[in-house]
């Protein structure tokens, strides 16, 4: 039993750790190209001058971080200072197990360990621990600005969890099961949830809330605040900082993985009948597509102010996701009738409702801001 | 029907255009790698210039543009530098230099008479701000701007104080790095020299005429 | 500084809870304060209750130094006042000094002066917009686009004067040297490609909802306050007052060019207005540049200034519409080669006096943006 467990878990962790390194490299190069410059390109094969497009950069960064001095502020709580990055990393890694990846070396018996019936609920429960880790980091630094930054981060993460969960509820409602593998199976054949109006709205809400959960731009208030507070991990140096970094990226993978499972069809794609393990490739490709969009948004958008951020979550996303649940329920009942005409009508009505709700809420919250005209004097 | 978040999508389109353009339209969208201003083909011209190997530094002819200026140099007209140096140590540039980075001492011969050359001419290049005022106020066209900028040194105490012998460069070198400016300066000097010669000749003529007239008058006096 | 009194309280009573004010020093080492500038803010939660700017960290004795050097020798130091617009500073000083002696500037030199000044205006406004969006948190993408364009103009400056930023190009009575061959064509190319870049920039920024909601309604400056505080430049025009020294004084040959001056419709201005006014001013600068490059004559570039600059005892004030506001130089000459008094009117400092009034009542995140929209350069504030 333990050997099978090892065969199941260790390759998963290794694969995702390598993907993390690759993603940091990809992010730096992609952001650089957006900004009209090349990213890292000198660190390639060690001890030579061959820069292999900078692929050695993540390794060099990792080695540097390991060798840095571990500074803990005087009077800080040493235990929590050490525990916080570990507590940030463990939930993200734990959640990776439930993604429906059919690796070819796993047979039915070992994979059964991971087919939890309540996978989606387990996912949301465990990612709630990230919030705790952030607050622990802010508290243990004994720095009032870190504490304030940590509290803001907690407020952000807590308020964006609700739209996240509510948009996942729609998929669960349509499929009728919380099992990740079943949800992925229900979308085979190109019948993904994102291709329906309520699914599309739910996907967009999920994606925006996922950006906020992992503290990515434009919601990166906790980490890149250039105003007064440098974030909840100011007082971390060396390997603990590397662990926070790793935790953030693995969380990105995990949430993208869940989004792919719920909305984009899991491992679905052409060529599955011929090579069954191609589903892993498709799964990872879709995750990378979502991560590429996250990097793209990071390069384009400025940051939201904290009250605007909270207003966006509570006054726009929450009403919209609740309305979406009603629309999806109505659509599910309509689909039970199995009549094409009624299905088309349902689609049109739901599109109309969702669009008008979104515009209305937008107008209500942010109706006064628009581009302006100016006068000229001769 | 306006798209919600339409401004954000337009912004994302611009970033995508820049991303793709940095691969296919490098001149416009990736200008950081443009080393085309470097005239010397031997110097590494691509990505990965620095750190340089031993001996790759201190290239003598790094000119960037026609008027580019880095630090001053003293001109001499060929041959042994101190024989044909143009500087006469008048100390005007020392007075006018805004950050006061020049230090000059006149040269005296064995009898204590002032000969027209500098004994000491130091420029502290860590203070010099390349403003060219010394070049403009020099009445003898003796100091001009060099364009060599790779002067870094590991010696913190005096490594950046350039002494007279290192500052002396020949006029031919000046023609090499700033041809138009050097030609214009040579022409101006030739015109001034011709004007001075003409004036001297006219003065000599006048003196000779005056002396002749005086001699004639003296002879007339004698005859009386 | 404004004379409005801040609410004078240390303890705030709210539903039986007492809270203290948090005092934060956004200190001289800060990534968003555009130089070594310090703001002592008192916060009530997130709201700014009091703000005290502290500057002087970059004071370099510019005005006293000029009393010990000849008039020509302090020209390179004027480059370093507002180090983004060295050509504009040079021109203001040259104007002030030319009023002390009787010299006429040739036509070609006047045209080239206008070309250099408008190119400087482009450089300054594009850098400001880039830094402003950078302060909003956009991680440098608009900033690097702006700097890509700025590099082209700095290359032009280097070909004309020998240095990219500290140009030291203007002299009393003209310019130091003529532009090299082909420079006017290259400048024409840069100017022709600039509107396309501005369109791309506007597409990236001006309808972005996040930028709109973060800059509109933030940092209101009423027109009366702006006028009474002595604010000039794009900040004044963004508050609804159409005042531009190029139209009022018509120094140089600005009366020959047809251009418009954008200003806000209304009588207050916020950060969004200041940002948009600068974008529109760049387009007007391009109009002026096109006209100047088309009409520049051949000729001399240096008038008959005396070799040794020793003006008779007099005083003069020369001012230009710099990219940041009214930049003025006040000179008192006493017959010797060195000035008796040399005073700079720094637009950044005088625009900075209304910072407190604009920031009170807003959030701390807005204070950074408001400071970014005033467009200060510490070299000018501290001299």
Q: What is the domain partition of chain A in residue ranges? A: 73-367
| CA nearest to B50 within chain A | A42
Which residue in A227, A373, A376, A378 has the most chain C C-beta atoms within 10 A of its own C-beta, making it the best mutation to test that interface?
Answer: A227
What pLDDT digit, counting tens, does each position of C178-231 carry? Answer: 888 888 998 998 999 899 989 988 888 877 888 888 888 888 889 999 999 999
Which residues in chain B are contacts of A301 at CB distance < 8 A?
Answer: 8, 11
Supply the pLDDT for residue B58.
46
pLDDT, mean of residues B102-131: 87
Residue of B4, B15, B32 with shortest CB distance to A37? B32
3-state class of C33 per DSSP? coil
Q: CB of B3 within 8 Å of any CB in chain C?
A: no
Supply the pLDDT for residue C4.
41
Q: CB of A228 within 8 Å of any CB in chain C?
A: yes
- What distance in Å separates the CA atoms of residue A194 and residue C265, rounded to the nearest whole number? 46
Dihedral sign, Cα of residue B42, residue B44, residue B45, residue B51: negative
Average pLDDT score, chain C: 86
Give burial (CB, 10 Å; 0-12/13-18/19+) of A174.
Answer: buried
ipTM of model: 0.82
- What distance in Å separates the CA atoms of residue C216 and residue C36, rounded to the nearest whole number? 27
| CA nearest to A298 within chain B | B12
Pairwise CB contact (< 8 Å): B11 & A297: no
Q: CB of A1 within 8 Å of any CB in chain C?
A: no
Where residue C21 falls among pLDDT bands split at 50, 70, 90? confident
pLDDT at residue B106 above 80?
yes
Q: How many beta-carbon contacts under 8 Å exist across A and C?
A: 108
pLDDT at residue C43 above 90?
no
Instruction: Report the relative pairing of strands B71-76 and B168-170 from DSSP bridges.
Output: parallel
CA–chain centroid gap for C376, Å, is 7
Task: Compute the residue count for chain B.
Answer: 224
Full-model pTM: 0.86
Residue of C139, C144, C212 with shortest CB distance to A217? C139
Q: pLDDT > 90: what percent of chain A?
A: 8
Supply the pLDDT for residue C18.
59
- What distance in Å separates the CA atoms of residue A336 and residue A103, rounded to the nearest whole number? 35
| CA nearest to A293 within chain B | B12
Number of alpha carbons in the 13 Å side-chain half-sphere of residue B119:
7
Which residues in chain A are contacts of B22 at CB distance < 8 A?
Answer: 33-34, 36
Where residue C11 falls among pLDDT bands split at 50, 70, 90? very low
Higher per-residue pLDDT: C81 or A48: C81
Distances from the Cα of C345 to the Cαs of C23, C77, C320, C322, in angstroms? 32, 15, 11, 11
Q: Nearest CA to CA, how far is B11 from chain A (Å)?
A: 7
Which tokens sit at B21?
Answer: 């353009």
Supply the pLDDT for residue A109.
52
First to last CA, chain B: 121
Pairwise CB contact (< 8 Å): A368 & C140: no
Where residue A292 falls among pLDDT bands split at 50, 70, 90? very high
pLDDT at residue C123 above 90?
yes
What pLDDT digit, counting tens, does each position of A312-368 carry? Answer: 888 888 988 998 898 888 888 887 777 777 777 778 887 887 788 877 777 777 666
Which residues in chain A are contacts of B14 at CB distance < 8 A?
Answer: 300
Number of alpha carbons in the 13 Å side-chain half-sphere of residue A168:
29
Question: Would you say B190 and B184 are in contact if contact means Cβ atoms under 8 Å apart?
Answer: no
Where residue C343 falls among pLDDT bands split at 50, 70, 90? very high
Supply the pLDDT for residue B46.
45
- What distance in Å separates the CA atoms of residue B81 and residue A191, rounded to the nearest whole number? 87
Q: CB of A375 within 8 Å of any CB in chain C?
A: yes
Q: How many beta-carbon contacts under 8 Å exist across B and C?
A: 79
Residue of B67, B96, B129 with shortest CB distance to C177? B67
Supply the pLDDT for residue A3.
74
pLDDT at residue C2 above 50?
no
Residue of A35, A220, A369 with shortest CB distance to C144? A35
Instruction: Compute chain A's Rg from CA coordinates.
Output: 22
- What distance in Å separates the CA atoms of residue C158 and residue C161, rounded to the nearest whole number? 5
Which residue in C39, C279, C365, C366 has the most chain A C-beta atoms within 10 A of its own C-beta, making it the best mutation to test that interface?
Answer: C365
Q: Nearest CA to CA, how far is A337 from chain C (Å)?
A: 42
Pairwise CB contact (< 8 Å): A302 & C206: no
Which residues in chain C are contacts of B5 at CB distance < 8 A?
Answer: 209
Supply the pLDDT for residue C16.
57
φ/ψ of residue C18, rounded to 5: -105, 130
Residue of B15, B32, B33 with shortest CB distance to A300? B15
Please work out, in degrees rounded to the nearest 5, the angle formed at the alpha carbon of residue A91 by the alpha carbons of A86 and A97.
130
Give the other-Cβ count within 10 Å of A320's Cβ. 22
What pLDDT digit, counting tens, does each position of C282-333 carry? Answer: 999 999 999 999 988 888 888 887 777 888 898 999 999 999 999 999 999 9
Alpha-helical regions (H) of A141-272:
144-175, 180-185, 197-213, 239-263
| CA nearest to B68 within chain C | C162
Q: Nearest CA to CA, how far is C6 from chain B (Å)?
A: 39
Instruction: Compute chain B's Rg from CA coordinates.
Output: 29
Where residue C7 falls among pLDDT bands split at 50, 70, 90? very low
Question: Would you say A331 and A196 are in contact if contact means Cβ atoms under 8 Å apart?
Answer: yes
Pairwise CB contact (< 8 Å): C166 & B130: yes
Task: Compute the residue count for chain A.
Answer: 378
Neighbouring chains of A at 3+ CB pairs within 8 Å? B, C
What pLDDT digit, counting tens, does each position of C58-111 carry? Answer: 899 899 998 998 888 889 998 888 888 889 999 999 999 888 887 888 999 999
Q: How many beta-carbon contacts under 8 Å exist across A and B?
A: 43
Supply the pLDDT for residue C3.
37
What pLDDT digit, counting tens, does each position of B8-52 carry? Answer: 888 888 888 888 888 887 777 777 665 555 544 444 444 445 555
- What distance in Å separates the CA atoms of residue B209 and residue C48, rounded to the nearest whole number? 91
- What distance in Å separates the CA atoms of residue C70 and residue C97, rounded to the nearest whole number? 12
pLDDT, mean of residues C149-156: 88
First to last CA, chain C: 19
What pLDDT digit, counting tens, does each position of A186-237 carry? Answer: 887 777 888 888 888 889 899 999 998 888 878 877 776 555 556 677 777 7
Distances from the Cα of A61 to the Cαs of A40, A43, A58, B28, in angstroms? 11, 10, 5, 32
Spatial CB neighbours of A314, under 8 Å, sequence gap ≥ 6: A159
Pairwise CB contact (< 8 Å): B22 & A36: yes
- What distance in Å separates the CA atoms of residue A202 and residue A196, rounded to the nearest whole number? 10
Q: Nearest CA to CA, how far is C144 from chain A (Å)?
A: 6
Pairwise CB contact (< 8 Å): A218 & C208: no
Neighbouring chains of B at 3+ CB pairs within 8 Å? A, C
Pairwise CB contact (< 8 Å): C368 & A227: yes
Say what angle helices A57-66 and A2-34 make with each other, to 10 degrees. 110
- What distance in Å separates the CA atoms of residue C343 and residue B38, rounded to the nearest whole number? 42
3-state class of C326 per DSSP? strand
DSSP, residue by residue, B30-99 = -GGG--TT---TTS--SS--PSPPTT-S--TT---STT---EEEEEE-SSSTTTSB------HHHHH-TT
Give the other-Cβ count within 10 Å of A75's Cβ. 7
CA–chain centroid gap for C134, Å, is 18
3-state class of C129 per DSSP? helix
Supply the pLDDT for residue C342.
92
User: How many H helices and E strands in chain B?
Assistant: 7, 6
First to last CA, chain A: 85
pLDDT at residue C335 above 90?
no
Question: Would you say B177 and B145 are in contact if contact means Cβ atoms under 8 Å apart?
Answer: no
Spatial CB neighbours of A313, under 8 Å, sequence gap ≥ 6: A156, A159, A160, A162, A163, A209, A212
């Amino acid at each position: 039993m333990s050997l099978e467990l090892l065969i199941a878990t260790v390759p998963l962790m290794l694969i995702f750790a390598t993907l993390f390194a690759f993603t940091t490299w990809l992010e730096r190069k992609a952001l650089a190209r957006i900004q009209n410059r090349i990213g890292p390109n000198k660190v390639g094969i060690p001890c030579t001058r061959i820069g292999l497009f900078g692929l050695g950069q993540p390794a060099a960064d990792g080695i540097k971080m390991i060798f840095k001095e571990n500074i803990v502020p005087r009077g800080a709580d040493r235990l929590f200072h050490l525990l916080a990055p570990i507590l940030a990393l463990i939930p993200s890694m734990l959640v990776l197990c439930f993604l429906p990846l059919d690796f070819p070396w796993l047979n039915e018996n070992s994979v059964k360990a991971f087919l939890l019936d309540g996978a989606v609920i387990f996912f949301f429960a465990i990612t709630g621990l990230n919030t705790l880790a952030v607050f622990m980091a802010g508290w243990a630094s004994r720095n009032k600005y870190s504490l304030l930054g940590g509290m803001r981060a907690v407020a952000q993460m807590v308020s964006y969890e609700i739209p996240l969960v509510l948009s996942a509820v729609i998929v669960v409602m349509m499929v009728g099961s919380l099992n990740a593998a079943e949800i992925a199976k229900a979308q085979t054949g190109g019948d993904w949830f994102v291709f329906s109006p309520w699914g599309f709205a739910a996907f967009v809400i999920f994606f925006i809330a996922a950006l906020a959960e992992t503290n990515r731009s434009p919601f990166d208030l906790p980490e890149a605040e250039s105003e007064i507070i440098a974030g909840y991990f100011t007082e971390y140096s060396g390997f603990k900082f590397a662990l926070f970094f790793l935790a953030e990226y693995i969380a990105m993978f995990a949430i993208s993985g869940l989004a792919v499972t719920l909305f984009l069809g899991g491992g679905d794609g052409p060529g599955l009948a011929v090579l069954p393990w191609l589903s892993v490739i498709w799964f990872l490709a879709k995750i990378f597509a979502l991560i590429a969009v996250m990097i793209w948004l990071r390069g384009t958008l400025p940051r939201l102010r904290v009250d605007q951020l909270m207003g966006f979550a509570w006054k726009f996303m929450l009403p919209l996701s609740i309305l979406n649940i009603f629309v999806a329920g109505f659509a599910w009942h309509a689909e039970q009738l199995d009549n094409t005409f009624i299905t088309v009508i349902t689609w049109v009505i739901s599109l109309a409702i969702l669009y008008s709700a979104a515009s209305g809420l937008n107008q209500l919250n942010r109706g006064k801001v628009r581009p302006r005209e100016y006068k000229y004097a001769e | 029907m306006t798209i919600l978040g339409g401004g954000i999508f337009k912004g994302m389109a611009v970033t995508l255009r820049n991303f793709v353009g940095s691969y296919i339209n490098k001149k416009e969208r990736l200008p950081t790698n443009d080393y085309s201003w470097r005239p010397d083909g031997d110097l590494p011209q691509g990505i990965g210039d620095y750190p340089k190997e031993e001996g790759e530094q201190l290239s003598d002819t790094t000119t960037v543009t026609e008027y580019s200026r880095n630090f001053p140099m003293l001109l001499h007209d060929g041959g042994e530098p101190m024989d044909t140096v143009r500087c006469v140590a008048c100390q005007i540039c020392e007075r006018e230099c805004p950050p006061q980075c020049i230090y000059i001492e006149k040269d005296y011969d064995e009898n204590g008479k002032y000969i027209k050359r500098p004994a000491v001419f130091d420029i502290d290049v860590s203070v010099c701000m390349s403003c060219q005022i010394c070049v403009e106020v020099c009445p003898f066209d003796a100091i001009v701007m060099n364009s060599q900028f790779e002067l870094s040194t590991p010696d913190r105490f005096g490594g950046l104080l350039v002494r007279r012998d290192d500052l002396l460069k020949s006029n031919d070198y000046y023609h090499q790095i700033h041809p138009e400016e050097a030609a214009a300066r040579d022409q101006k000097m030739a015109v001034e020299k011709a004007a001075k010669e003409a004036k001297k000749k006219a003065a000599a003529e006048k003196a000779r005429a005056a002396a002749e007239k005086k001699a004639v008058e003296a002879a007339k006096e004698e005859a009386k | 500084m404004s004379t409005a009194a801040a609410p004078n309280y240390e303890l705030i009573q709210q539903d039986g809870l007492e809270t203290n004010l948090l005092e934060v020093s956004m200190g001289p080492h800060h990534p968003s304060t555009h130089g070594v500038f310090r703001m002592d803010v008192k916060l009530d939660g997130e709201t700014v209750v009091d703000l005290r700017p502290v500057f002087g960290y970059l004071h370099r004795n510019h005005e006293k130094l000029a009393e010990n050097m000849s008039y020509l020798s302090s020209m390179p130091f004027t480059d370093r006042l507002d180090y983004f617009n060295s050509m504009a500073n040079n021109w203001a000083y040259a104007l002030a000094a030319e009023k002390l002696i009787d010299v006429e500037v040739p036509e070609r030199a006047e045209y080239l002066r206008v070309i250099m000044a408008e190119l400087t205006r482009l450089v300054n406004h594009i850098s400001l917009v880039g830094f402003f969006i950078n302060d909003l948190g956009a991680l440098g993408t608009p900033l690097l686009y702006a700097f890509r364009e700025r590099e082209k103009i700095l290359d032009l400056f280097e070909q004309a004067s020998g240095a990219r930023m500290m140009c030291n190009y203007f002299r009393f009575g003209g310019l130091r040297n003529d532009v090299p061959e082909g420079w006017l064509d290259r400048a024409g190319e840069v100017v022709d490609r600039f509107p396309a870049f501005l369109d791309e920039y506007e597409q990236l920024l001006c309808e972005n909802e996040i930028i709109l909601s973060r800059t509109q309604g933030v940092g209101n400056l009423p027109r009366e306050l702006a006028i009474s505080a002595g604010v000039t430049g794009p900040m004044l025009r963004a508050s609804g007052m159409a005042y531009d020294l190029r139209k009022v004084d018509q120094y140089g040959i600005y009366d020959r060019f047809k251009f418009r001056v954008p200003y806000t419709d209304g009588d207050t201005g916020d950060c969004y207005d200041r940002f948009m006014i600068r974008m529109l001013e760049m387009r007007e600068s391009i109009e002026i540049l096109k006209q100047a490059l088309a009409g520049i004559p051949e000729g001399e570039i240096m008038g008959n200034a005396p070799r040794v600059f020793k003006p008779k005892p007099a005083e003069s004030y020369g001012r230009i519409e710099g990219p940041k506001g009214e930049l003025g130089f006040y000179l008192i000459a006493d017959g010797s080669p060195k000035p008796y008094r040399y005073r700079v009117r720094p637009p950044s400092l005088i625009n900075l006096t209304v910072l407190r009034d604009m920031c009170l009542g807003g959030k701390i995140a807005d204070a950074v943006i408001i400071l970014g929209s005033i467009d200060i350069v510490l070299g000018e504030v501290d001299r």
